Amino acid sequence: MIIVLEHNAGEPEKRDLKAFLKDKGFRVREIVGEEEIILGAVGTAHVDLREVEVLPGVARVIPITKPYKLASREFKREDTVVQVGPIKIGGQRIVVIAGPCAVESREQIIEAAQCVKESGAVILRGGAFKPRTSPYSFQGLGEKGLKLLKEASEATGMPVISEIVSIEHLDMFKEYVDILQIGARNMQNFELLKKVGALGKPVLLKRGPAATINDLLMSAEYLLANGDDSVILCERGIRTFETYTRNTLDLSAIPVVKKLSHLPILVDPSHGTGIRDKVSSMALAAIAAGADGLIVEVHPEPDRALSDGAQSLYPEQLEKLMRDIEALAPVLGKEVYKLPEYGDDLRTVSVEGPAGGRASAGETVSGGEAKTAGLHKEESVPLRIGFQGERGAFSERAIYGYFQQDKEPVPFVSFKDIFDAILQNKIDYGVIPIENSLAGSIHQNYDLLLRYPDIRIAGEKKIRIVHSLIGLPDAEIKDIRKVYSHPQGLAQCLKFLEKHSEWEQVPYYDTAGAVEFIAREGQKGNAAIAGREAAKVYKMKVLKEGVETNPKNYTRFFVIAPEGKNKIKNPDRASFVLSTLDKPGALYLTLKILAESHLNMKKLESRPFPGKPWEYMFYIDVEIPEDQEVFYRSVNEIKKNTDYFRILGIYKS
């Protein structure tokens, strides 16, 4: 059963309630949600619900009807996010696990690990104990394989996952592995599930070849009931009458599991198809179906693999798959999780001042302690990252999509306030919109980059803009009389708004601010157009999602930082601004240098030169090749043809 506590319930009431339930024979879990605190009571004991409802601190009691209690959406409404070191599995990020089916040698696993990391995947897989159909097949290197996997982890900074097949190996796996995998053959090895659950480490549970979704969730229940809150489900194909593929990948299981359970679910398209050429297409289909990530097999030389070579990707295939996932993710409103590529400068120091609230350039923002930053284990404070607008703004979403470390988004009144706060060391980074695919460049921010020469572009993030009509929790579309939003938000939803000509459209300075306004006003006839994240922040209701006229609506954001702060490995993009000499063909000569150097120009835009009427500056974005010297030589040539030149940033796109 679920016991929802009253908002004013204190520790004494919770303590007495837990004692009562335990005396009755229940195991009790406390879950702190975004809106309420609940106690989950599971077990075979029976009690009259009315006995619980009358206890102090109890708001209501809800019976759990599903046979799986702790894994059910009834028990926990919010999605579970499993943390593995700095990596979070679940929520709005896509996590990719990759590596060979089996660890074969030191050279093989180190090479595979480097390939996995360079492709953009973030967790390394590798089997040390291989349960094979034939007793004569390669069975793995055992503990030696785990040691080599650990060595590869230390060399690359990636957490590792490996399959455990026996209770006898628990201590060994606890020492070497970050995530324990329960394979398809052991999904219903209940004694193993009990012991693994008691370890308290993250577990990936694969669906058995003949298991129903209910069977999978009941197996997860064994892990949860024995104390493990970090359970990840995995769909890897089931046995059907079809013989063309190794298994039949049941992608319909993804939305079904998402509705029934709060646990994250990954997909294994390698075992799901058993055919290398089918893996990438099914991987993309899995992401489109709502999977939280993938676990795929890749081998430096699949043709020489000792296990599952036919379904293992070549390294170049994994790289292409990762690029395709990055292209698909924004359409789904998700981000691909990446390992940080920064130096120690991303870890910040404590700054004292008032916590929380809206900040202007004259205020100091405090940071608390964080568990990790990047892949480093030492304690640090969260990154303080400024954005313009109210909580729930699209800029805040860009922050969560770009930064993997612990972070504290800080709202500011204006873009200029962000720049000032960076220079005054009151925040570590800022995130500003620079270009929209429909409305064009945000010239105000380009001008600010010119006015603040000590601030550089440190990175960029593109997100899809999905607008929602948001109202009060008890409102319906028929109740709406006024709609508030930023002028661009209103303009981008014009087709939808034209269908409701009776509504008054009221411009507001910020989309998320419009949601905060209608929440504060409490008028049922008011609605706002903003992202659904704003509805969540202010506990409002999404009346209709996807009301934008053009679904191909993306905004590009710049991450900005003090000059010299960011140390980015392998940058692939540069932004600079220049003013050409006053002579015929000056701009042509600049572009000719880029063309002859084979530098791909991604953007060219002119802007009036501040303080010089009828003179213009050109903003240029170019891709940086692997040989960075080509870029720098070109820059030196371009400077000879300009009377003003400044690099705005060299960064990773």
Q: How far apart are CA 301 and CA 309, in angstroms?
A: 8
Query: Whole-model pTM?
Result: 0.66
User: For residue 52, what pLDDT is reported?
Assistant: 84
For residue 584, give the DSSP letter.
Answer: T
Pick the range with the lowest mean pLDDT from 134-138, 219-223, 520-524, 628-632. 134-138
Report yes or no: 418 and 387 within 8 Å, Cβ to Cβ: yes
User: For residue 361, what pLDDT is reported?
Assistant: 36
User: For residue 153, what pLDDT is reported?
Assistant: 94
The dihedral over CA atoms of 374, 158, 339, 625, expressed in degrees to the nearest 10, equals 130
Q: Do the domains spanning 2-62 and 570-651 agree at the CATH topology level?
A: yes
User: For residue 377, what pLDDT is reported?
Assistant: 33
User: For residue 192, what pLDDT is reported?
Assistant: 96
User: For residue 437, what pLDDT is reported?
Assistant: 87
The full DSSP string for 430-474 is EEEEEEETTTEE-HHHHHHHHH-TTEEEEEEEEEE---EEEE-TT
Q: How far apart are CA 310 and CA 303, in angstroms?
A: 7
Q: How far apart are CA 289 and CA 265, in angstroms?
A: 11
Pairwise pLDDT comparison (583 vs 370), residue with the higher score: 583
Distance set, CA 16 to CA 9, 57, 58, 67, 399 (Å): 11, 10, 11, 27, 42
3-state secondary structure of 233: strand
User: For residue 611, what pLDDT is reported?
Assistant: 66
Task: Tell me the H-state helices in 335-432.
Answer: 394-402, 415-423
Known catalytic residue at 557: yes
93 Ramachandran zone, left/alpha/beta (phi>0; psi -120 to 50)? beta
Distance set, CA 195 to CA 27, 171, 263 (Å): 17, 11, 20
Q: How far apart are CA 108 and CA 130, in angstroms?
A: 17
The pLDDT-based confidence of 380 (bands split at 50, 70, 90) is low
For residue 72, give the DSSP letter.
Answer: B
Beta-bridge mates of residue 646: 577
Distance set, CA 634 to CA 78, 630, 642 (Å): 52, 6, 13
The pLDDT-based confidence of 69 (bands split at 50, 70, 90) is confident
26's CB contacts (< 8 A; 6+ apart) are 41, 42, 43, 45, 47
Task: Please give the single-letter amino acid code of residue 518.
Answer: I
Pick the range with the lowest mean pLDDT from 19-33, 207-221, 380-394. 19-33
Read off the pLDDT of residues 561-601 as tens digits, 9 standing for 90 and up. 998 776 677 889 999 999 888 888 888 988 999 999 999 99
**Is residue 384 over pLDDT 70?**
yes
Topology of 344-452 in CATH?
D-Maltodextrin-Binding Protein; domain 2 (3.40.190)
Q: What is the 3-state secondary structure (H, E, C) of 279-337?
A: HHHHHHHHHHCCCCEEEEEECCCHHHCCCCHHHCECHHHHHHHHHHHHHHHHHHCCEEC
Share of the chain above pLDDT 70, in %: 92
Read off the pLDDT of residues 428-449 as tens digits, 9 standing for 90 and up. 999 999 999 888 888 899 889 9
3-state secondary structure of 157: coil
**Is residue 24 over pLDDT 90?**
no
Q: Which run of H or E residues covers position 202?
A: none
Pick the range with the lowest mean pLDDT from 84-93, 141-150, 232-241. 84-93
Residues in the chain: 653
Question: Residue 596: phi, psi to the nearest 5?
Answer: -70, -25
- For tokens 């390698």, name the residue: 270
Name the nearest CA neighbour of 404 among 383, 386, 388. 383
Pairwise pLDDT comparison (648 vs 352), residue with the higher score: 648
Report the chain's mean pLDDT, rounded to a whole number: 87
For residue 609, give the DSSP letter.
Answer: P
Read off the pLDDT of residues 108-132 as tens digits, 9 standing for 90 and up. 999 999 999 999 999 999 999 987 7
**Is residue 517 over pLDDT 70?**
yes
Report yes or no: 433 and 395 within 8 Å, Cβ to Cβ: yes
| Residue of 273, 511, 555, 580 marked catalytic | 555
- Structural domain spans, the chain: 2-62, 92-130+158-186+198-209+230-336, 344-452, 468-552, 570-651
- For tokens 């900005």, name the residue: 560
Mean pLDDT of 622-649: 90
Architecture of the domain made up of 570-651: 2-Layer Sandwich (3.30)
In angstroms, what is the C-alpha Rg of the chain? 27
User: For residue 365, what pLDDT is reported?
Assistant: 35
Topology of 92-130+158-186+198-209+230-336 in CATH?
TIM Barrel (3.20.20)
The pLDDT-based confidence of 39 (bands split at 50, 70, 90) is confident
User: For residue 528, what pLDDT is reported?
Assistant: 97
Read off the pLDDT of residues 519-559 as tens digits, 9 standing for 90 and up. 999 999 999 999 999 999 999 999 999 999 988 888 999 99
Q: How far apart are CA 146 and CA 126, in angstroms?
A: 8
276's CB contacts (< 8 A; 6+ apart) are 302, 310, 311, 312, 313, 314, 317
Cα–Cα–Cα angle for 410, 414, 417, nearest 5°? Answer: 70
For residue 489, give the DSSP letter.
Answer: H
Name the nearest CA neighbour of 650 among 641, 437, 635. 635
Read off the pLDDT of residues 153-194 as tens digits, 9 standing for 90 and up. 999 999 999 999 999 999 999 999 999 999 999 999 999 999
Pick the range with the lowest mean pLDDT from 260-269, 465-474, 528-537, 608-617. 608-617
User: For residue 372, what pLDDT is reported?
Assistant: 31
Read off the pLDDT of residues 294-308 as tens digits, 9 standing for 90 and up. 999 999 999 999 999
Distance set, CA 497 to CA 230, 464, 489, 491 (Å): 44, 20, 11, 9
User: For residue 609, what pLDDT is reported?
Assistant: 74
User: For residue 643, what pLDDT is reported?
Assistant: 84
Written as six digits, the tokens of 28 are 């009790």
| Residue of 403, 557, 558, 576 marked catalytic | 557
Architecture of the domain made up of 2-62: 2-Layer Sandwich (3.30)
Known catalytic residue at 65: no
The separation between CA 177 and the C-alpha centre of its own chain, rounded to angstroms, equals: 23
Q: How far apart are CA 13 and CA 15, in angstroms?
A: 5
Q: How far apart are CA 532 and CA 556, in angstroms?
A: 19
Q: Mean pLDDT highest for which of 134-148, 389-403, 477-491?
A: 477-491
Name the nearest CA neighbour of 411 among 356, 339, 368. 356
**Is residue 401 over pLDDT 70?**
yes
The pLDDT-based confidence of 327 (bands split at 50, 70, 90) is confident
User: For residue 523, what pLDDT is reported?
Assistant: 94
Matching CATH number, 468-552, of 3.40.190.10, 3.90.550.10, 3.40.605.10, 3.20.20.150: 3.40.190.10
Report yes or no: 318 and 137 within 8 Å, Cβ to Cβ: no
